[in-house]
Amino acid sequence: MRGTALGFLLLCGAGLCFGQEQQALCPRHIEVPTFPPIARAAHVTGKITLTITIDADGNVRSVEATADNPVMQAHPLLQKFAVENMQHWTFAKPPSVPYTETIVYDYEFDPSLPADGGANPITKVTFDLPNRVTILTNLSIIDHT
């Protein structure tokens, strides 16, 4: 997971962020998110849309979870983890200040990952920046014996 983030950051440092000349928002530091263990055990998934505000130095000044679909609210636990994760990111200096960006975190189960007894969760994180982070995990099998 860190290799993916590191490779992306190296591209950004070379001025190749998102295939443009530093015009798009480019992360300097990414904290790789995790799938909350309690949400995984409860089989909770969802999409969290975050609106972030970045200051002149590239620091995240505010993060707000917004509802794309008011009928299908995202689970508060997933919102909490996404917001806390995003607060640790930093970005290259934005083209304007304050700079606002929308980033979607997708928490999903991946049936291609082997199920386990809860002791060995497998999590894969994909960054499709600047607007999407996908966090995939395997299903936990709860033993009721």
Residue 16 covered by a domain: no
Confidence of residue 117 (pLDDT cuts 50, 70, 90): low
What pLDDT score was predicted for residue 10? 41
pLDDT tens column, 102-112: 999 999 999 89
Residue 97 covered by a domain: yes
Residue 31 covered by a domain: yes
DSSP string, the chain: -HHHHHHHHHHHHTT-GGGSSS-S--EEE-PPP---HHHHHTT--EEEEEEEEE-TTSBEEEEEEE-S-TTSPPPHHHHHHHHHHHTT-EESPPSSSSEEEEEEEEEEE-TTSPPBSSSS--EEEEEETTTEEEEEEPPBPP---
In the chain, the number of structural domains is 1
Residue 13 covered by a domain: no
CATH of the domain at 85: 3.30.2420.10
pLDDT tens column, 76-97: 999 999 999 999 999 999 999 9
Residue 142 covered by a domain: no
Give the chain's mean pLDDT.
82
Look up the domain containing 99 and give its range: 2-6+25-137
